[in-house]
Amino acid sequence: MRYEVDWSILARPELAALLIDGVRYTMIVAAVSTGVSLVLGTALAIARVSGSGWLRWPAELWVNLARHIPGVFWVLFFYFAFPELLPATWGSALNGWTSFALAAGIVALSVDNATYVSDIVRTGALAIPRGEWEAARCCGLSPWQQWTCCLIPVTLRTVTPPLANRTIHNFKNSSLCMVIAVPELTWATQQIESLTFRGIEATLVATLFYVTVALALGVWARRLERGGYRHWRGAGAVWRRERGELARVDSRR
Amino acid sequence: MPVRRPLSSLFALALAACSLPAAVADSVLDRVRESGVVRIGTGNDTPPMSYIDESGRWVGFDIELGNALADRLKAKVERVAVNNKTRIALLANGQIDMTVSNRSQTRSREEQVDYASPPYLWTAKIFYAKQGRFAGIGELAGKRIGVNQGSNAFTAAAQEIARYGGEAPQVVSFQKNAEGMTALRQGKIDAFCQDSPIIAALAGDTGGSFAAVGTGFSPGLYGIGVPPNDSKWRDAVSFALQDLIKDGTYERIYLAWFGPAGRYPLALDARPRLPPDAFGAMMYVWPD
């Protein structure tokens, strides 16, 4: 008994179309959910390290609850259960929406990933020396400016490697959306297998795609880590001078 | 020798990919006789054909037929859970000895594996939707049609709707029938398309608010799958199946599940039989 690999099936237009569509859906799910979760996760992180208990405790509670929940749960939850929790008219409007599966998948991965992003960003923010926080405050910046101009850029630079890992992870998690019939790449390989009974060829091509994109993300993150974030200007520049000042003072001590 | 464990089958695949010569296989029959064990691939989530009931037991028409076949072959059943997508590959790789898993014979499947004779149940594809929502199949043009991934409904549903002209439907493939039915109830899809006996079971718990759209289409015959190019084994399974038909075992299992007093009575008799006016509607078996 042996499996004869037959690459020609991938040249069949209807099967190639499934793969190409799969790539499209995978990229949409991964890109949008990563973007949303970076923003959401950073907001959660700020809430967790901020002084106000009203912000801190709900965020803390949420993250500690959500990070113990499997990603596939969120996918099934937002697709099957969430519309049932809404008023009937809203629920049936969602269910009737042709792109609901795609939207539910994106929301699910965003929620799932935001939890981990928040942990990463929080760690990075706490790693900023106390003096630098004070420096940011001393520049006369509003809390919003302190974060957006000073603390977030520095934090992001520190946590770029773990964030890149997380992004690669989230990219691969896009395959979870197959369980709610989003025709992404993994779903497409399964569909090709069910039509041709040959799964190896399409799966190998899909794996190659996942590996290539993940490697590219890694390389990009490395470059960002080395030289990125230079474009953050404005009030942050003052703070950067102050930080430089501080570092010099520190070294003289 | 047939591959027994999933891991070693991976190695076998790797070897095949390197184009190394594979060992010449003995007949599965020899191995079954020697070991006294037959590995049967069945689904585990497809009532009424094969599923696990509330008390954790394997039940279903296919389960009982598989057990009876194993008895005939004087072997114990080693049950391997398969789904619509894995059942062909596992057979072709020799990881299971037969499938009794609501599988229609199709040309594309026949190219990969073989079937024992005769086919044991005829079915039709049915569109299932909210009662009264669609007057006929033609109205399903452009609608969202749910199917189970791996079912040939994916192809058949679109083809059938195309016959009526109009916009192509959006076919949505779910991993399980139950998920497709939930999606149907919630209005995420407009109709669900599956084989008639499976629809009969799915309809059981919808309380009559759902119904078939139009009539059944794309007739199919369920057959017992066997690994390709092993006629000794295929004959043994065919003989065993025909013996079950001759001695009334098949009849008993059929009536228990699909007969008028069965668990899921089918409106149309699903036994593939000869014409009633010529042979008294007997099931065909090979003469001696």
pLDDT in tens, A166-224: 999 999 999 999 999 999 999 999 999 888 888 889 999 999 999 999 999 999 988 88
A96 and B187 within 8 Å at the Cβ level: the answer is yes
Map chain A to HEC letters. CCCCCCHHHHHCHHHHHHHHHHHHHHHHHHHHHHHHHHHHHHHHHHHHHCCCHHHHHHHHHHHHHHCCCCHHHHHHHHHHHHHHHCCHHHHHHHHHCCCHHHHHHHHHHHHHHHHHHHHHHHHHHHCCCHHHHHHHHHCCCCHHHHHHHHHHHHHHHHCHHHHHHHHHHHHHHHHHHHHHCCCCHHHHHHHHHHHHCCCHHHHHHHHHHHHHHHHHHHHHHHHHHHHCCCCCCCHHHHHHHHHHHHHHHHHHC
**ipTM for the complex?**
0.79
Q: In the predicted model, is pLDDT for residue A246 greater than 50?
A: yes
B17 and A80: CB-CB below 8 Å? Answer: no
pLDDT at residue B16, as a whole number: 47
Indicate yes or no: CB of B92 within 8 angstroms of CB of A187: no
pLDDT at B91: 92
Q: What is the pLDDT of residues A111-158, one digit of tens each?
A: 999 999 999 999 999 998 888 888 888 888 888 888 888 888 888 888
Collect all residues from A whose CB is shorter than 8 A from any CB in B.
Answer: 1-5, 79-80, 83-84, 91-92, 95-96, 98, 100-101, 178-179, 181, 183, 187, 190-191, 193-197, 199-200
Q: Is the pLDDT of residue B44 over 80?
A: yes
User: Can B6-120+223-279 and B123-220 be said to share one CATH topology?
Assistant: yes
Q: Where are the domains of chain A?
A: 9-252
Predicted confidence (pLDDT) at residue A92 exceeds the cutoff of 80: yes
Rounded distance between C-alpha atoms, residue B141 and residue B159, angstroms: 11
Q: Is B207's pLDDT higher than 90?
A: no
CA–CA min distance B221, chain A (Å): 18
Overall average pLDDT of the B122-147 stretch = 95
CATH of the structural domain B6-120+223-279, one choice from 3.40.50.300, 3.20.19.10, 3.40.190.10, 2.30.30.90 = 3.40.190.10
* CATH class in words for B123-220: alpha beta
- For the stretch B58-91, pLDDT in tens is 999 999 999 999 999 999 999 999 988 888 889 9
Contact A1 B182 (CB under 8 A): no
pLDDT tops 70 at residue B240: yes
pLDDT value at B11 more than 80: no
Which one of A1, A80, A191, A207 makes the best mutation probe of the B interface by having the most chain B beta carbons within 10 Å?
Answer: A1
pLDDT of the residue at B108:
85
Q: Which chain A residue has its CA at the smallest distance from B154's CA? A: A195
The pLDDT of residue B239 is 97
Question: Looking at CA atoms only, how far is residue B204 from chain A in angstroms?
Answer: 21
* Mean pLDDT to the nearest integer, B225-250: 96
Structure tokens given for A112: 């799932």
| Residue type present at position B212 | A
pLDDT tens sequence across B19-41: 433 444 589 999 999 999 999 99
Instruction: Using CB atoms, pick whichever of B13, B17, B144 lies closest to residue A98.
Output: B144
A50 min Cα distance to partner chain B (Å) = 42
- For residue A79, which residues of chain B lie inside 8 Å, CB to CB? 188
Q: Is the pLDDT of residue A250 over 80?
A: no
Of A5, A80, A194, the CB nearest to B85: A194
**In this prediction, what percent of chain B has a pLDDT beyond 90?**
72
CATH topology of domain A9-252: MetI-like fold (1.10.3720)
In terms of CA atoms, which chain A residue is nearest residue B90?
A: A197
- This prediction has a pTM of 0.83
Q: Chain A residue closest to B110 (CA)?
A: A197
Which candidate from B25, B108, B173 shows the least CB-CB separation from A1? B25
Nearest chain B residue to A192, by CA: B150
For chain B, the domains span: 6-120+223-279, 123-220
Residues in chain A with CB shorter than 8 Å from the CB of B93 are 1, 3
User: What integer pLDDT is reported at residue B25 of this predicted model?
Assistant: 55
pLDDT of residue A230: 59
